[in-house]
Structure 1
Amino acid sequence: MPAINDENQIPPDRMLEKRNHLGRMAMGVLFAVAICFQMGCHRFEQSGFPGSASSMARNHIMFVRKSPQTFGYYRLTSLTQAYPELALFVQNRGAPDFLAETSNRGRNYFILYYLKPRQAFVSRSRLGGEKGVEFAGPYPITRKEYQTLNGLRGADTNRIQAR
């Protein structure tokens, strides 16, 4: 084993200073990470980036079914987690048969279609990054809209039964 050269040793007071510096750096990194999460870092699915669930749902009408689960149901549960007022609405009215999602001028719009009563409700997110939504409706679903949506639901049911 080579002998320790006294010239290469770090004095104890200098060693303590280096250790304190590393501790402060680690605390700074942890603080930065905590601030990032507190400021609302979004999960990838909610980000709107290409390939994320929110980007795939944009400008689409989605069939909502719990079992077997559809993308529309997955998207509805994601939205109800992000918007508590939407969760309360769905809890009171039940899950819609179809969900449409779009955005315009910094606001998200969600249209919930209920086929049995032939009604649709529109909700839009509030401006300024608030997690609230405003509701309007019910609006009547036209005969043509009903036929189209009911046809989509029937096509999906037939596809599942064919498996």
Structure 2
Amino acid sequence: MSRSILSLILSCLLVGACAPTHRWLSRTPASAANDQMMLVRNDPNSFGYQRLMLKTQEFPDLKIFVEDTGLPDYFAETSSGDRQYLIFYYLKQRQAFACRAKSPHSNAVEFSGPYSITDREYRLLSQAKSDAAAKRQADAA
């Protein structure tokens, strides 16, 4: 997957970084995650974190990847035909990785990357992460 494709996916998927309410989350987690850019935060658990944990149960190799690489800052899910694609963004390293399900009914995945995150992607994702943190602080006050 080329850098321009990752940029296109990022542009299409960056919708928001705030976690949805638990009632909404419980109704449609899979459809809510499709074609979305999700902030991954484990304290408190964000929607992206919850989806990533579900995916690590579905794909054992993904669990190993996350254990080795660490939690990404952002996670995106999308599909094309019968294939699932997962994209992981690590802001500190300015890198992204792609993961693709090998076949529709298999729990095997392929990884590619790292890919460099562009300056524009970095600024956009960093700002969204900062905005989410500020909103969380304001809501707590």
Whether TM-score is above 0.5 comes out as yes
Output the TM-score relative to the length of structure 2.
Answer: 0.78
Structure whose CA Rg is larger? 1
Corresponding residue for 1:111?
Answer: 87
Corresponding residue for 1:68?
Answer: 44
Cα distance, 1:128–1:160 mapped onto 2, change above 3 Å: closer
* Mapped pair 1:58 → 2:18: no
Alignment partners' CA distance in 2, 1:78 and 1:52: 14
* Mapped pair 1:137 → 2:113: yes
Residues 83 and 104, structure 2, Cα contact 8 Å, conserved in 1: no
Higher relative contact order (CA 8 A, sep 6+): 2
Where 2:113 maps in the other structure, the secondary structure is strand
Where 2:105 maps in the other structure, the secondary structure is coil
Which residues of structure 1 form unaligned runs of 5+?
1-50
1:105-128 CA distances to partner (integer Å, 9 max, x unpaired)? 201000000000000000000114
Detail structure 1 runs of 4+ shifted over 3 Å in the superposition.
none
Output the TM-score relative to the length of structure 1.
Answer: 0.68
Which residues of structure 2 form unaligned runs of 5+?
1-26
Root-mean-square deviation (CA, aligned residues, Å) is 0.8
CA positional deviation for 1:52? 2.6
* Mapped pair 1:153 → 2:129: yes
Map of 1:1-163 to 2, 5 A cutoff?
51-163=27-139
